[in-house]
Chain A
Amino acid sequence: MTAIKDALSFKTAFTTTAWVLIPVAIGINMIGRTFTQVLNLPLFLDTIGTTMLAFLAGPWVAAVAGVLTNLVIGLTLEATSIPFGIVNAAIGIVAGVMAARGFLRSTGKVIWLMVALTVTTIVTATPIVVLVFEGVSGSGVDAVTGFFVASGQGMVESVIGQQLLTTPGDKILTVLLAFALIKGVPARYRPPFAREVVPF
């Protein structure tokens, strides 16, 4: 249980391995999105690296990786992704805390983890999409928002409606993939936190 305790404390969570894992998570967040575009999948998977890092090294390391993902992408590729760093960080914290509390130990609990990540995404992303971007994201999901707006819904309701339709599938697959991918990594390459929270 020491590894869990260390990962939950901001002071002890940031080992050298954790700092090395952060850029890897940033890369996986980026690649998740690229692969879904190549495969024409109706998903984002742009928080898969953060979620995986939350299972590997705990909430605080994942939160820093989440913020840095959007900062790196924002400052090197797309400036508009910067405000969404808050969403990515929140996902890291929720996934990491729930992993530490044993939510990866049974199917029922994993479902609650998926629900929590969906709610976290909707609660943190909606204000940014509405207040900063007036409801648009420049991607295909704008068509869903447009549908709700055309049916007479307000902007907040339309964005929530769009998020309710698109986020659950994305988060379910994010958790399943992150979990399955860690399971596929030989135990000796998993950080101590992952050895305690992932039941293998």
Chain B
Amino acid sequence: MEADTTTWSPARVAALYDVGNTWLHRVHPLTKLAAVLPLTVAGFAGDSIRVPAVILIVAVLTLLVSRLGSVVLKSLRLIAPMTFALFVIHGVVRPYESEPIASWGPISINAEGLALAGTTAARLAVFVIAVTSAMTTVHPKVFATALIQRGVSHKLAYAYLAGAELLPEMRLRASQILDAQQSRGFDTKGSLPRRFRTLFALLKPLLVSSLIGVEMRTLALESRGFSRLGRRTSAVEVEDRGKLLQRSLLAAAIPLVVLAILW
């Protein structure tokens, strides 16, 4: 039986994850992850913008039709500053031997630079949208369980999941420490040396409390048989399916690279 993630609180993990029941939510987590590889290599192969642009248009339309506009927004938020920097550095700032298409005083816009910026932005957008689509529609616990089912060490999966769960907890603790230190008169806007001192005052309690908690966590894990060898059962169940599709997706990366270069 599949885990009903709709009842889990997304706030407990630092995650792109959105609760939902779209077709993409129902696809096996590793199938979604396997699809990232051929899409990304196809996007990066070849010199032209055509391949990444086509992938991007199809991906955005599919996501919008599937009511997954949030994936597009999250990807856009991440890729926008990079796209801006790419267009400024390659399209405006970088000197070229060819004639600029427009000039205003020292600023000139070059077609060659714009093309390079556009291609790079499209490639990065393909990668970002592929990863974001995969991870917005899978709860980290389900993802970690699926990895363990395919032979990934449960210890590695624990570290991944605990990391994802610890991020919001540490962020909360960091903001509490920040508030507490500010109420004691710590200056977050003073001179550079003063801000460095504040940084140390903020990090120290966070680190000390984290390290003190390590001993307790270690004992708790050991009492649950963390170091024991052998198979484990899991509270989260993920139906182990789609192996052939996943292998095909990974294998598809090779012909896709060839096609992208030739096109």
Contacts and interface: CB of A to CB of B under 8 A. Distances in A.
Interface of A: 14, 16-17, 19-24, 26-28, 30-32, 34-36, 38-41, 45, 48, 52, 64-65, 68-69, 71-72, 74-80, 82, 132-139, 142, 145-146, 149-150, 152, 173, 177, 180-181, 184-185, 189-190
Contact of B163 (A27, A34, A173): A27
16 contacts: A16-B227, A17-B215, A20-B214, A21-B214, A26-B159, A27-B163, A30-B167, A40-B189, A52-B207, A75-B16, A76-B16, A78-B78, A80-B79, A136-B85, A150-B93, A181-B204
A133 B82 CA distance: 8
A19 B199 CA distance: 27
A22 B178 contact: no
Nearest to A151: B95
Contacts of A48: 203
Contacts of A22: 159, 162-163
Given A69-B163, A181-B207, A185-B207, A136 B15 contact: no
B131 A16 contact: no
The secondary structure that dominates the B interface is: helix
B68 to A, nearest CB: 16
Interface residues of B, number: 71
A152 B155 CA distance: 49
B206 A31 contact: yes
Interface in B47-92: 75, 78-79, 81-82, 85-86, 88-90
Given A77-B16, A80-B78, A41 B167 contact: no
A88 B207 CA distance: 19
- Residue among B82, B85, B165, B202 with the highest chain A CB neighbour number at 10 A: B85
Nearest to B128: A79
A26 B166 contact: yes
Interface of B: 13-17, 75, 78-79, 81-82, 85-86, 88-90, 93-95, 116-117, 120, 124, 127-128, 131-132, 135, 140, 143, 155-156, 158-160, 162-167, 169-171, 174, 178, 188-189, 192, 195-196, 198-200, 202-204, 206-208, 210-215, 217-218, 221-222, 226-227
Contact of A181 (B132, B140, B203): B203
A69 B159 CA distance: 10
A76 B227 contact: no
Contact of A152 (B95, B140, B159, B199): B95
Q: List 8 tightest A-B contacts by C-beta distance, closest first.
A: A79-B131, A23-B162, A26-B163, A27-B170, A138-B82, A138-B81, A136-B85, A72-B163
B49 to A, nearest CB: 13
A78 B215 CA distance: 31
B158 A142 contact: no
